[in-house]
Chain A
Amino acid sequence: MFAENRIKKIKEILLEYRHIDCQTLSSLLSVSMNTVRRDLDKLENENFLKKTHGGAVLVEENFEVQLNDIEDPFKEEKRQIAEIAAGMVEDHDIIYLGQGFICLEIAKRIKERSALTVVTNNINALVELAGNSQIRVIVPGGELQAEGNVLELKGRYSLNNLKKMLIRKVFVPVSGVTVDLGYTCDTEEEVELYQELCGKAEEIVFLADYTRFGERSLCHLGPVAMADKVITNAQVPNTFKEFFDTSGVTLFTAFPET
């Protein structure tokens, strides 16, 4: 992992947990303790954290920093997931692309294709696809939500229009996956939308980078067997690889770049 990425990951971890020890960081990032200490030195100089004996704590004034403000440290992992997802899209498919970075990356990878129908509320993704007249893009509509340069449409209008559509393959990101609960999302709105889509789709593909496994968010989407395919990274814990096989879900993984 590049130093830059590592620093971002350390920032993210600290924003979430407020304090961390070197040992844990070293194993989380799979780098040596010395590397961790060097990175912590760097961040101490930026006044992001304060080193303690054997670890570091977040400097108080940073408590207000939002996770969104720092760049996503798992972009590379997400791009690899998008690469596999794009491989699943075939000619004449009718697909739904969900929100977020992975789906935007899928759009980038299928924009040269022909004879596709893409349904999406992900404005960044549809902008990518707009240049190709061979791809039919349908926007179910809704209320605009903008976070920085991430634009998407949300709300009831979407749901009502989607009820009329028969989509073949659904690609949506989920924010948490656990063995006992299955998939979880951040908002009730997403859950409602995805459940509607999944009810009629031929193939349901959930997307989540490996850090989402073992995590749970507020809203319950459905059990593990709800998906046909799940795409993640090979770093996902072995328990999930075994569990998915036995629950009839095909697990696709992307291998880390070195």
Chain B
Amino acid sequence: MDGKALLSVKRLQKRFGEFFSLEVDDFSVFPGKIHGLVGVNGAGKSLLLNILSGLVSPDDGEITVNGEPQQFSTPLDAQSKGIVCIHQNINLVEDLTVAENIYLGNLPEGFLGKIDWKFINESAQTLLDTLKFPISATAKVAKLNLASRRMVEIARAFRKEPKVLLMDEPLALLSISDAQMFFPALSWLCEHGVGIVYVSHNLESVIEWCDAITVLCKGKISNRVDVSTNTDIRSLVMMMSGVNYKHNYPKLPSTLGRTLLEVKGICSRRSLDNVSFHVRKGEILGIAGMLNSGRTAIARALFGLDRITDGQISMNDTRLDLKNPDDAIAAGIGYLPENRMDRGLIGNLSVPPNITITSLEDVRNLTGLDLRREEVYARNYVKKLVIDTPFLHANVGVLSAGNQQKIHLAKWLFAGCNVLILEEPTQSIDLASKNDIYNYMGSFVQSGASIILISSDLQELMGLSDRILTLCRGKVTKEFHRGEFNAEDIMWHATLNNENREGKDEGKEGTTI
């Protein structure tokens, strides 16, 4: 096998952050084969692609191309060996034409260094025709819809004459009919001996198109599957969920009060389609969904980051008009987004300002901020949440991920919120802080508050939630009550939903959320 592999990695290791490491002992791409790579969010799929395409250097292990060991320090190194990656986000220059984008960075020069536009336009058009993409090479990219932009990206990758093509979620946000247009292009590439790595959450397409599938789970390869007629989605889903890994979640039997937050038929620009649910006092509502399922869109709508285009949100039977996060905070809604250092905390400020920042009114005096009072509040929270900081005025950026997350939590407790939206609250956090956060969630809801928990960790969701909603393509697909949780069913409803496949608005710009 080794002799034939176009690209192969052995004993690859990459530590990423404090608590995630990717360890791939063996992964190979063969000519003319499509190799599927699947796993839940955070399993390490994109990281593996980034290493293969030279964007990230591994800590250890070897990469070989055609049997020769390689070391890529930039994506250009990888490209010179014929490895081209199409990333999850579309990277096109909107104000240039399709042909210009396809030849970007490598415009062929003709007589006296003049750029040969005729050649560029013509050869770009030939390429598009060969791949059977119905796009005009002279159209401006800005005028194209999402599917066509993806096609331009594939054409551009193909123009680089790849031997190995890596594709990270190329079909995200596309409708099924659009997605089908890509397949002939891929098989055409295969016929010409190109090896393809295909990363996708769309398991149907993975099984339909791929020759072999590798399942990543928590940074390690958990399964390798040779696709045959009896490869089914359910078993793949089970492999992805990694349910064999047992954790313990401190969950108390809950006493649920009346409905605190009610959401009726909300729609938003960020792909929410008639979403309704409610959260009761004392309840932890789990939301299961893949990337782009709308799970972040729910949080953003509830926190006033995105205006809802239809439907209504009410708290304690009072309708809320959330124009911005200030309105949400005033209504008692707090949000811990996925990436706490980018969107939650200010790394080069110390602990006290990070805690009081959303409610400065409470520490204001006549002349400005009452720093002594701020410090007293902060000291209380540091003690309450057993935050481990060398001293109170340490910059938050230097603390461990677990302690940062606790400070983030303290911020919302100080703001006095009673509905807390937690998105991936324990991602890349040490076990001890994880335990603290779980326990604190319990004590928070016991005081009559509510939590909306968005997590890719299915075990965590099942361990802590009183109810779980599955979300797929902006719609709630199913509701599960505690006691009837079943990993397989939840994954099934979160990953696939045949009814909702068709008729997704085209041309809607897919913002990665």
23 example contacts (A-B, Cβ-Cβ < 8 A) are as follows: A30-B383, A234-B386, A238-B430, A241-B435, A244-B435, A245-B247, A245-B248, A245-B431, A245-B434, A250-B250, A251-B435, A252-B250, A252-B439, A253-B439, A255-B384, A255-B385, A255-B386, A255-B440, A255-B443, A256-B384, A257-B384, A258-B383, A258-B384
Q: Is B483 an interface residue (CB 8 A)?
A: no
Asked whether, in the complex, the Cβ of B250 is within 8 Å of the Cβ of A90, the reply is no
For A244, what are the chain B residues with a Cβ–Cβ distance below 8 Å?
248, 435
Q: Is B446 an interface residue (CB 8 A)?
A: yes
Asked whether, in the complex, the Cβ of B380 is within 8 Å of the Cβ of A258, the reply is yes
Inter-chain residue pair count (beta carbon < 8 A): 68
Asked whether, in the complex, the Cβ of A242 is within 8 Å of the Cβ of B248, the reply is no
Q: Is A139 an interface residue (CB 8 A)?
A: no
CB distance from B378 to the nearest CB of A (A): 11
- A256 to B440 Cα, complex, angstroms: 11
For B446, what are the chain A residues with a Cβ–Cβ distance below 8 Å?
87
Q: Is B17 an interface residue (CB 8 A)?
A: no
Which secondary structure characterizes the binding site on chain A?
A: mixed
Q: Is B436 an interface residue (CB 8 A)?
A: yes
User: Which residues of A in the span 223-258 have a Cβ within 8 Å of any Cβ on B?
Assistant: 229, 234-235, 238-239, 241-242, 244-246, 248-258
Q: Is B432 an interface residue (CB 8 A)?
A: yes
Kindly supply a per-residue 1/0 record for chain A positions 83-96, scoring 1 wherever the CB is within 8 Å of any chain B CB and 0 otherwise: 01001101000000
For A254, what are the chain B residues with a Cβ–Cβ distance below 8 Å?
439, 443
CB distance from B412 to the nearest CB of A (A): 15
| Chain A residue nearest in CB terms to B252 | A87
Number of interface residues of A (CB under 8 A): 26
Which residues of B pack against A, CB within 8 Å? 246-250, 252-253, 380-381, 383-386, 388, 430-432, 434-436, 439-440, 442-443, 446
Asked whether, in the complex, the Cβ of A241 is within 8 Å of the Cβ of B248, the reply is no
CB distance from A8 to the nearest CB of B (A): 18
- A249 to B247 Cα, complex, angstroms: 9
Asked whether, in the complex, the Cβ of B248 is within 8 Å of the Cβ of A88, the reply is no
| Chain B residue nearest in CB terms to A254 | B443
Q: Do A241 and B436 contact each other (CB < 8 Å), given the known contacts A30-B383, A235-B386, A255-B443? A: yes
Asked whether, in the complex, the Cβ of A242 is within 8 Å of the Cβ of B439, the reply is no
The 8 Å CB contact of A238, one of B384, B432, B440, is B432
Q: Do A245 and B435 contact each other (CB < 8 Å), given the known contacts A84-B252, A255-B440, A258-B380? A: yes
For A88, what are the chain B residues with a Cβ–Cβ distance below 8 Å?
252-253
The 8 Å CB contact of B248, one of A84, A87, A251, A253, is A251
CB distance from A213 to the nearest CB of B (A): 13
Asked whether, in the complex, the Cβ of A87 is within 8 Å of the Cβ of B431, the reply is no
For B249, what are the chain A residues with a Cβ–Cβ distance below 8 Å?
250
Q: A242-B430, A251-B250, A252-B442 are in contact. List 20 more A-B contacts (CB 8 A).
A: A88-B253, A229-B250, A234-B386, A234-B436, A234-B439, A235-B386, A238-B430, A241-B432, A242-B431, A242-B435, A245-B248, A245-B435, A246-B431, A248-B246, A251-B439, A252-B250, A252-B252, A253-B439, A258-B383, A258-B384
For A239, what are the chain B residues with a Cβ–Cβ distance below 8 Å?
432
Instruction: Tell me which of B381, B385, B435, B436 has the highest count of chain A C-beta atoms within 10 A of its own C-beta.
Output: B435
Asked whether, in the complex, the Cβ of A90 is within 8 Å of the Cβ of B253, the reply is yes
The 8 Å CB contact of B435, one of A84, A235, A248, A253, is A253
Asked whether, in the complex, the Cβ of B432 is within 8 Å of the Cβ of A242, the reply is yes
| Chain B residue nearest in CB terms to A88 | B252
For A248, what are the chain B residues with a Cβ–Cβ distance below 8 Å?
246, 248
- A111 to B90 Cα, complex, angstroms: 62
- A253 to B226 Cα, complex, angstroms: 46
User: Which residues of A in the span 71-114 have a Cβ within 8 Å of any Cβ on B?
Assistant: 84, 87-88, 90
**Ordered nearest first, which 6 A-B pairs have the shortest CB separation?**
A238-B432, A241-B432, A250-B248, A258-B380, A242-B431, A87-B252
- A246 to B384 Cα, complex, angstroms: 25
